[in-house]
């Protein structure tokens, strides 16, 4: 498997030795390059995801979706971005101006922050703290604050209602999300994201195989809770357009709305990416213990594995979104507190028993 850190080390060496730059400049250049890479990946993925959502939604509803702008509608999203950029940005007179402008920052920081933890390839994680997955859950909860502030600062009755609903839904589902991640941590024995992926290389070592029943259950709970965490249907209570017009971003115009749109799709990607990383092995190729098959699979680059798995989960979540009707607020809270929460506690105990007595699935 190709190790991307070779490239990073080579580049670092190039700057330090060949160009003879000091510590400060090397770090500055590297940070700027990393920032640019993040922005590029972020924008590209947003375009791909929004286009994908429109097409998937269209085909689920027996339409063909956007086809006019560009070949097969591929430039539709770019046209939308341009349109958003030339729209006026204005604030409601009675709004809390400071909080109103602060909210998009929090939402985007949460989504970019979690986005940069994803393992794209072996050695290609941007941030790789030893408390990685724990920090991801911590940063993602800033997004809740952003959404709540957005709704509250707008001083619009729909927005305030939506902010309350969004907050109560997102904080509730964070619990089972965290518990599912803890079950994965129990199995891998590390919180570092590269370590979690590393533990899943080898024959039948993806967590979903390794941890069999509890891991499969945890994967399902993680997908449901992640969907709710990304505020997407059937859990899109916060922007239930038939009752709350547009929810917390009703009063945001042009690019202000654009940020929430962007963050929604990137959050979807991050949740799917985390599900793929933690349960489906991230960049780890599928190995079944037969040498010829494994060698062929190992030739496929890690980034393709990662993107393939992630887009598989993305498609699954889009499928769910366009198939199920929206839940009511009491149904959402019942689902979390009376079903998913006890279930994830049971998963946790099951997983502990499996790991403690060495009942995990491994081929020696």
Partner 1 sequence: MYFTLFVAVLMTAAFLVIAAYSIAKLIGPRSYNKVKGEPFECGIPTHGSSWLPMNVGYYLFAILFLMFDVETVFLYPWAVAVKSFGPLALGTIGFFMMVLVFGLAYAWRKGALEWK
140-179 residues near partner 1, rule: CB under 8 A: 152, 154-160, 164, 167-168, 171-172, 174-175, 178-179
Q: CB within 8 A of 83, min separation 6: which ones?
A: none
Q: Is the Cβ of residue 291 or residue 330 nearer to partner 1 in the bound state?
A: 330
Q: Is the Cβ of residue 230 or residue 246 nearer to partner 1 in the bound state?
A: 246
204 binds partner 1 (CB under 8 A): no
84 binds partner 1 (CB under 8 A): yes
Phi (first) and psi of residue 252, to 5 degrees = -95, 130
Q: Which of 49, 191, 237, 350 binds partner 1 (CB under 8 A)?
A: 191
Q: Are 163 and 231 in contact (CB under 8 A)?
A: no
128 binds partner 1 (CB under 8 A): yes
Query: How many angstroms separate the first and last alpha carbons of the chain?
Result: 21
- Distance in Å, CB of 363 to partner 1, minimum: 19
- Distance in Å, CB of 16 to partner 1, minimum: 14
- How many whole angstroms separate alpha carbon 39 and alpha carbon 30? 14
Q: Is the Cβ of residue 189 or residue 308 nearer to partner 1 in the bound state?
A: 189
Residue among 119, 167, 115 nearest 141 (CA): 167
> Could you give the string, one character per residue 233-272, with x where binding to partner 1 holds by CB under 8 A and - elsewhere?
------------x----xx--xxx-xx-------------
41 binds partner 1 (CB under 8 A): no
- Distance in Å, CB of 125 to partner 1, minimum: 10
| Tokens 């730059």 -> residue | 21
Q: Which of 49, 95, 218, 237 binds partner 1 (CB under 8 A)?
A: 95
Widest Cα–Cα separation across the chain: 68
CA geometry: angle at 267 spanning 266 and 272, to 5°? 95
Q: Which of 75, 126, 303, 316 binds partner 1 (CB under 8 A)?
A: 126
Q: Is the Cβ of residue 179 or residue 313 nearer to partner 1 in the bound state?
A: 179
Q: Is the Cβ of residue 244 or residue 307 nearer to partner 1 in the bound state?
A: 244
Q: CA-CA distances (angstroms) from residue 72 to 68, 319, 360?
A: 7, 21, 47
- Distance in Å, CB of 71 to partner 1, minimum: 27
- Distance in Å, CB of 18 to partner 1, minimum: 20
CA geometry: angle at 102 spanning 98 and 107, to 5°? 160
Buried b (16+ CB within 10 A) or exposed e, 318-341: bebbbeeebbeeeebeebbeeebb
Q: Is the Cβ of residue 63 or residue 83 nearer to partner 1 in the bound state?
A: 83
Q: Is the Cβ of residue 22 or residue 342 nearer to partner 1 in the bound state?
A: 342
- Distance in Å, CB of 62 to partner 1, minimum: 32
118 binds partner 1 (CB under 8 A): no
85 binds partner 1 (CB under 8 A): yes
Q: Is the Cβ of residue 273 or residue 285 nearer to partner 1 in the bound state?
A: 273
Count, residues near partner 1 per rule CB under 8 A: 81
| β-bridge partners, 203 | 287
Which residues in 303-342 contact partner 1 (CB under 8 A)?
329-330, 333-334, 337-338, 341-342
- How many whole angstroms separate alpha carbon 169 and alpha carbon 335? 11
- How many whole angstroms separate alpha carbon 219 and alpha carbon 201? 18
Rounded to 10°, the helix 302-321/23-60 angle is 40
Phi (first) and psi of residue 261, to 5 degrees = -65, -50
Q: Which of 25, 59, 60, 90 binds partner 1 (CB under 8 A)?
A: 90
C-alpha torsion 291→293→299→303, nearest 10: -120
């Amino acid at each position: 498997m190709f190790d991307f850190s070779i490239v990073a080390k080579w580049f670092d060496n190039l700057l330090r030795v060949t160009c003879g730059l000091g510590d400060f400049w090397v770090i500055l250049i590297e940070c700027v390059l990393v920032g640019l890479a993040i922005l590029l990946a972020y924008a590209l993925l947003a375009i791909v995801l929004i286009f994908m959502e429109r097409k998937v939604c269209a085909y689920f509803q027996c339409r063909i979706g956007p086809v006019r702008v560009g070949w097969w509608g591929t430039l539709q999203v770019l046209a939308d971005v341009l349109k958003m950029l030339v729209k006026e940005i204005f604030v409601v007179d009675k709004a809390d101006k400071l909080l109103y402008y602060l909210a998009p920052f929090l939402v985007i920081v949460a989504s970019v922050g979690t986005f940069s933890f994803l393992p794209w390839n072996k050695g290609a994680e941007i941030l790789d703290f030893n408390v990685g997955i724990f920090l991801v859950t911590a940063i993602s909860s800033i997004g809740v604050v952003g959404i709540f502030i957005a709704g509250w600062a707008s001083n619009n009755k729909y927005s305030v209602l939506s902010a309350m609903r969004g907050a109560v839904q997102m904080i509730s589902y964070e619990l089972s999300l965290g518990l599912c991640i803890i079950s994965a941590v129990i199995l891998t024995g590390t919180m570092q994201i590269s370590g979690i992926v590393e533990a899943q290389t080898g024959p039948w070592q993806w967590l979903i195989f390794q941890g069999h029943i509890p891991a499969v259950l945890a994967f399902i709970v993680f997908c449901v809770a992640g969907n709710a965490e990304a505020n997407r249907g059937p859990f899109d209570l916060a922007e239930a357009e038939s009752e709350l017009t547009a929810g917390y971003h009703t009063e945001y115009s042009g690019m202000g709305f654009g940020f929430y749109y962007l963050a929604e799709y990137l959050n979807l990607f991050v949740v799917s990416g985390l599900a793929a990383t933690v349960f489906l092995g991230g960049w780890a190729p599928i190995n079944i213990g037969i040498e010829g098959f494994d060698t062929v699979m190992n030739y496929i680059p890690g980034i393709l594995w990662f993107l393939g798995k992630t887009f598989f989960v993305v498609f699954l979540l889009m499928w769910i979104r366009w198939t199920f009707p929206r839940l009511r607020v009491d149904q959402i809270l019942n689902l979390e507190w009376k079903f998913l929460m006890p279930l994830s506690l049971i998963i946790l105990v099951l997983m502990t028993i499996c790991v403690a007595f060495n009942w995990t699935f491994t081929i020696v």
